[in-house]
Chains A and B, each alone.
Chain A
Amino acid sequence: MSYLYMGAIVPISIAIPITVGVAKYKRLDQSLKIVFLFLVVNGLTNVIAKLLAVAQVTNLPALHVYTVIELWILLLFYRSILNDIGLSRFIPIIIIAFFVVSVINTLFFQSIFTYNSYTRSLEAILIILFAIIYFIKRLDKVEQSAKGTAIAIINSALLFYFSGALILFIVSNVIVTDIKLGAAIWNVHATLVLLMYILFAVALYIYKP
């Protein structure tokens, strides 16, 4: 039952925000199109991970690549919504630095057949920081438009997911040996992912240009 939830229901649920995104794609602005791209890449990764699992091949190498791509897309999203020249200059440097750190991590610390807990944790910390920066910068700019609300919901979803998942990323290599414990903890992670997808779907649904 727990496998059905974590391995099928939650990964398939990404179809909900993707469907809303497809229906409204033409009306989406640049930042929302980046969110849509994030969902598509996330969905494709779910499919690849499932195919590799069915073929009984480890899907951890895909996770190493996905981590870099995910951070890259999410930082592009933050660059588009923050409208801050200083931060905009800084973001490409973070993306390149993260790529370099990921390569070093893969080569010297956590091989592609190991869960990349260091880079996943670092990614989570970076996204949490950017989510908080966004809220701080928007504190005295009340956005009553549908677009502002949609972006705030997406930011809340990212902040909530990565804050919850950070602890899981940190301890992931400790719990990997205990299958029962791992299943229980990754089920909790699946719930966070589901919540994020639902919030993304709501944000895309209420968005108006």
Chain B
Amino acid sequence: MSNNIFLLVMLGMSGTLLLAGSVIFFYIRYQRKFLIQRETLQRKELDHKKHLLYTSIRSQEEERMRISRDLHDHVGSSLSNIRMMLGKIEKVSADDTSLKTIADTSKKGIDNVIADIRSISHRLLPPGLSLWGFYHSTEDLCENIRVSSGLNIQLADHTSGELQNIPFDTALSLYRVIQEALTNTLKHASANNITISLMIKDNKGAIDYIDDGKGAEMNERTKGLGMYNMESRLSMINAAYKVTTAPGKGFALSIYNIPLL
């Protein structure tokens, strides 16, 4: 009799425990499923945001190219024509000193405007990037900044030219990142020396950018728009980066994992 009661109690207990276990199991399973769904949704949202960002960067570059071409081809040639006309006026009015002075002054003004337009056009689209490749365009950029700012900029290529033949989009992104880094150093760092080294690590490209400026506290809050732009451009080409900086300790940007093909 007592054996039967024990068996019945145990059976009843097993039933209720099984039910409780099922509730717990269902809860854990549902939560996992929900978590996976939420993560998938978040990943899709992130991918969509990235896609929007990349599209915006690409259209920005296309717009820059268009403006650069328009400035160079249309505005530049129109100004050259006006300059020629002024040259003719100068010749025709050889006896009129005051008119000659006006034409001469105007020509000098136009020369300045043409130089400015060329400079703006080059900044908008590095002219040599598609012709001479990444290294020479970067060298050109460094040279321009060296001349205008007096900074000592060392650009060293430790590769065997692998970074010269990288796809145009990759080259343009890296060029913009270095341009942004140089602008930041000029604006904020009070540096004297900048070293840029191009390398190959694990069959991927790598770039080290180091300045000896005053450095800065770097965290998510203090990151500027420039840093976010660099991040976006590097993630666009699937490259990784690391920033090392602290007040009084300069600034170092390590870009690695750059695809060569």
A residues lining the B interface (CB < 8 Å): 128, 131-132, 135, 138-140, 142, 144, 152, 156, 159-160, 163-164, 166-168, 171, 174-175, 178, 180-181, 184-185, 188
Determine whether the beta carbon of A160 is less than 8 Å from that of B5.
Answer: no
Q: In residues 1-46 of chain B, which contact A (Cβ within 8 Å)?
A: 2, 5-6, 9-10, 12-13, 16-17, 19-21, 23-24, 27, 30-31, 34-35, 38
4 tightest A-B CB contacts, nearest first = A163-B20, A167-B12, A181-B2, A163-B16
Closest residue of chain B to A159, judged by CB? B20
Interchain nearest-CB distance for A106 vs B (Å): 25
Contact, CB under 8 Å: B31 / A171: no
Residue pair A140, B34 in contact (C-beta under 8 Å): yes
Q: Is the CB of B20 within 8 A of A168?
A: no
- Count residues of B near A (Cβ-Cβ below 8 Å): 20
Given known A142-B34, A174-B5, contact A135–B13 (CB-CB < 8 A)? no
A-B contacts, 27 listed (Cβ < 8 Å): A131-B23, A135-B23, A135-B24, A139-B27, A139-B34, A140-B34, A142-B34, A142-B35, A142-B38, A144-B35, A152-B27, A156-B24, A159-B24, A163-B17, A163-B20, A164-B13, A164-B17, A166-B16, A167-B12, A168-B13, A171-B9, A174-B5, A175-B9, A178-B2, A181-B6, A185-B6, A188-B10
How far is it, in angstroms, between the C-alpha of A178 and the C-alpha of B5 when the chains are bound?
10
Given A139-B31, A159-B24, A166-B16, 19 extra CB contacts under 8 A: A128-B20, A135-B23, A135-B24, A142-B35, A152-B27, A159-B23, A160-B24, A163-B17, A163-B19, A164-B16, A164-B20, A167-B9, A171-B9, A174-B5, A175-B5, A178-B2, A178-B5, A180-B2, A181-B2
Produce 1/0 per residue, B147-172, CB < 8 A to A.
Answer: 00000000000000000000000000
Main secondary structure of the interface of B (DSSP, over half): helix
The secondary-structure label for the interface of chain A is helix
* A contact residues around B9 at 8 Å (CB): 167-168, 171, 175, 185
Residues of A with C-beta under 8 A to B38: 142
How many residue pairs bridge A and B at CB < 8 Å? 59
Residue of B nearest to A161 (CB): B20
Distance between Cα atoms of A70 and B135 in the complex (Å):
76
CA distance A127 to B38 in the complex (A): 31
0/1 interface trace, chain B 199-236, chain A, CB 8 Å (1 if under) = 00000000000000000000000000000000000000
Give bound CA distance, A172 to B169, whole Å.
79
B175 to chain A, nearest CB (A): 41
> Which residues of A are found within 8 Å of B24, using beta-carbon distances?
135, 156, 159-160
* Residue of A with least CB distance to B24: A156
Tell me the smallest distance from the CB of A144 to a CB of chain B, in Å: 8
